[in-house]
Structure 1
């Protein structure tokens, strides 16, 4: 075959020579069917994305019992010996709820329920009785409730807060001597915390084991109680009762304790 003369080829070249070739190429591309994307690269990501949205949009597990209030707060009076916290609740779910156990954080607090089983939409009341005893100042107790709800990760928790006023603060309330020690005098400070003045009317002296003297630092506001054992030869445990004139309707009495051991 003789060699191609490029000069002669380009001299005689024109577009009409290649136009049929391009027409056939364009027609072929129009008729050729489109290839479907691979299922492995479309369906799997779509499923993963759909699963992610399903996870985030799914409603979280919701507790069925709703309480009002969840925190009960009350300031006590000088004459109060206990407080009763009342918590109302309702079964907001679509299944029956059974209360299995109710516990308070302190033995001084006793929770009570009218019943244990509550149908959907049914309401109930929980009462917590907190006995003050010798406590004073700010107090906080917790009440926990366990139910048969499987999706409940931890028990319900209610809080009881109260402030128990002190008309008179005694410090210390326990006096101690060792057996055979020198019978020295020990002192109890009594400071009035009430707004009104408080007078100590009498002290019940546990004769013949201890002698007790009252010293007034500031009338109606501050006192010293001086306690001296007669001897320390034998172990003893005695209570000293102190009567005040406050409040006027029902005056309160207080106690301090002495021991030899």
Structure 2
């Protein structure tokens, strides 16, 4: 009987410890910027569920793209607080997970991690992101497929490469929607790292210039990449 009571009390105490401290509402916090947004802001709320005042000593972001602030620094027991997170969307596309660390004076939980999910709609898709040849390989042509996946169609207006030892051409598959870019190196004798600049007629400045990449690498490096992928 005493053993059962002891286990019950330990369970209650453990539960209290888990519930104490800072609790964030609706986590992970999701943000859904528009394609044209360069920045997006989101407020979040939390509560001090502990039995003593809680001080937020410091905020620490895991990404330079995230800035955050709080309405104040000290929260009484049971008090709710509000924070604001600002993300620089930049060239992000797709789903990205970011986090903010709240350092507190709570001995049991000195650090609280607030998780965010940034879901940026894709407007231009380039597959693959990288074309690669190995040194000594026959310089066969390879292709990028560019798809305009946003609401408005876009046309490719100009292509240019950062290296002179490649040729390239674009073929429109579906007007304003899909293009195939064929690239071919003059030779594969030398290691090369380069980029293809793709310019479009997008009205959104950050989508008017896109980049795709091409490499010529040593065979041993190519093998290491294949092994790592597996």
Q: What CA deviation, in whole Å up to 9, does each residue of 1:67-97 have, x standing for no partner?
A: 3453322212223345444333454545332
Distance 2:40 2:204 in 1: 20
Residues 1:138 and 2:138 aligned together: no
The alignment's C-alpha RMSD in Å is: 3.5
Q: Which residue of 1 aligns with 2:187?
A: 231
Aligned residue pairs total 211
Structure 1 residues without counterparts, runs of 5 or longer: 1-44
Residues 1:88 and 2:40 aligned together: no
Cα separation, partners in 2 of 1:149 and 1:178, compared to 1, 3 Å: same
Q: Which has the higher Rg, Structure 1 or Structure 2?
A: 1
Q: Which of 128, 134, 137 is the aligned partner of 1:181? A: 137
Normalised TM-score (structure 2): 0.72
Q: Which residue of 2 aligns with 1:255?
A: 211
Normalised TM-score (structure 1): 0.64
Q: 1:119 Cα shift?
A: 4.8
Q: 1:151 Cα shift?
A: 4.4
Cα separation, partners in 2 of 1:96 and 1:208, compared to 1, 3 Å: same
Three-state SS of the structure 1 residue aligned to 2:20 is coil
Three-state SS of the structure 1 residue aligned to 2:35 is coil
Cα separation, partners in 2 of 1:156 and 1:238, compared to 1, 3 Å: same
Q: Which residue of 1 aligns with 2:76?
A: 120
Q: 1:133 Cα shift?
A: 5.4
> Which structure's relative contact order is higher, taking Cα pairs within 8 Å and 6+ residues apart?
2
Residues 1:199 and 2:136 aligned together: no
Q: Which of 3, 22, 26 is the aligned partner of 1:65? A: 22
Distance 1:90 1:132 in 2: 28
